[in-house]
Amino acid sequence: MAFLTALGGATTPDRHTLSWFPVVGALLGLIIGGIWWCADQLWAPVVAAGLVIVVDLALTGLLHLDGLVDTADGLVPQIPRQRRLTIMSEPTVGAYGVGAAVVVLLLRWSALASMQPNVLLVAAIWCGSRTVMAVAARAVPYARAEGGLATALLGGDWRPVALYGLIGSVALGALSAGRQSELAVAVGMLAGAAVVVVARRRLGGFTGDVLGAAGLVAETVALVTAAARW
C-alpha cells in the first residue's frame, strides 16, 4: 500500500512487493468504486466522475499519471534508444506526454460519467491493471543499465502472481456485471501488456514509468470497453 499509494508513508520495495500488487489494486478499486457510488448519490454523473478521477489521482499520488507522461515522451518520438531513456528521466514534460495525459483523463471521465456506479467493476479493473504491472516487472528485463527504483522489484517467478491476479480480476468482473465486465477486464489487461511490448522493443525492457503507463492504459481501455453499448 505504501509503495503503490500515497498512504502509509515512504517505503523501500523488494521483490516480494510485486506479489501484493493485485491485492492492493483490488482494495484501491473497492475504495474508488465506493466513492463513485457515494458521489453519484449527491451529484450529477459528470460531477461524480470528475470526483472519482480526483480521488484516484490523490490516492496514487499521481505516480501512474507521471509514468504515463514520461513514457509517452520517451516511446512515441522516433529517436535512439538511449535518448528515449534520457528523456524519460528528465523532470520536464513534452507535447507527447501532455497529449497522452489529456486523452487518458478525458476517456476515463467520459466512461465513468456514462455508466452507473459499479464498485466491483472498478475493483476488477484495478486488480487487473496491477497484475499487468507485476507480471511485466518479473517477466521483462529492466531497461536501465545503471539501475533505478524498479530494480528493487526484480526477481521471482511471474506465473504465480499472474495466475491469482487473473483469477481475482476475472472473478470480480463476473460478480460485477457478467460477461461484459469480464471482457472489459481482459481487453484492458491486453492493452496494458501492449504498452510493455512496445517498451520492450523500443527501450529493451521496462522502467518504473512504463509500469505506471501500462497500468493506467489498462484501466482506461477497460473502462471504455465497459461503457460500450453492446
Residue boundaries of the structural domains of the chain: 17-226
The type of residue at 112 is L
Whether residue 147 has pLDDT greater than 70: no
C-alpha to C-alpha distances, 179 to 104, 129, 164, 222, nearest whole angstrom: 24, 18, 19, 13
Handedness of CA 55, 59, 65, 66 (dihedral sign): positive
Q: Which of 7-11, 18-22, 83-87, 211-215 has the lowest mean pLDDT?
A: 7-11
pLDDT, one tens digit per residue, over 91-120 is: 888 899 999 999 999 999 999 999 999 999
Q: How far apart are CA 15 and CA 137, in angstroms?
A: 9
Give the CA count within 13 Å in the CB-facing half-sphere of 202. Answer: 22
Q: Are 50 and 27 in contact (CB under 8 A)?
A: no
| pLDDT band with cut points at 50, 70 and 90 for residue 59 | very high
142 has which bridge partners? 206
**Which one has a higher pLDDT value, 155 or 219?**
219
Whether residue 227 has pLDDT greater than 90: yes
Residue 115, number of CB atoms within 10 A of its CB: 17
pLDDT, averaged across the chain: 90
The type of residue at 89 is S
**Which one has a higher pLDDT value, 184 or 3?**
184
Q: How far apart are CA 191 and CA 198, in angstroms?
A: 11
For the chain, percent of residues with pLDDT exceeding 90: 62
| pLDDT band with cut points at 50, 70 and 90 for residue 2 | confident
Q: Are 65 and 55 in contact (CB under 8 A)?
A: no
In the numeric block, which cell numbers belong to residue 226? Answer: 465497459
| pLDDT band with cut points at 50, 70 and 90 for residue 156 | confident
Whether residue 208 has pLDDT greater than 90: no
Phi, psi of 90 (to 5 degrees): -80, 150
Give me the numbers of helices (H) and strands (E) for the chain, helices first please. 9, 0
Predicted confidence at residue 170, as pLDDT, reads: 86
Predicted confidence at residue 230, as pLDDT, reads: 75
Q: Are 16 and 154 in contact (CB under 8 A)?
A: no
Distance from chain centroid for Cα 228: 20
Q: Which of 28, 7, 188, 3 is nearest to 104 (CA)?
A: 188
Predicted confidence at residue 152, as pLDDT, reads: 65
196 contact partners, CB below 8 Å, separation of at least 6 = 132, 136, 140, 206, 210, 214
The alpha carbons of the chain give a radius of gyration, in whole angstroms, of 17
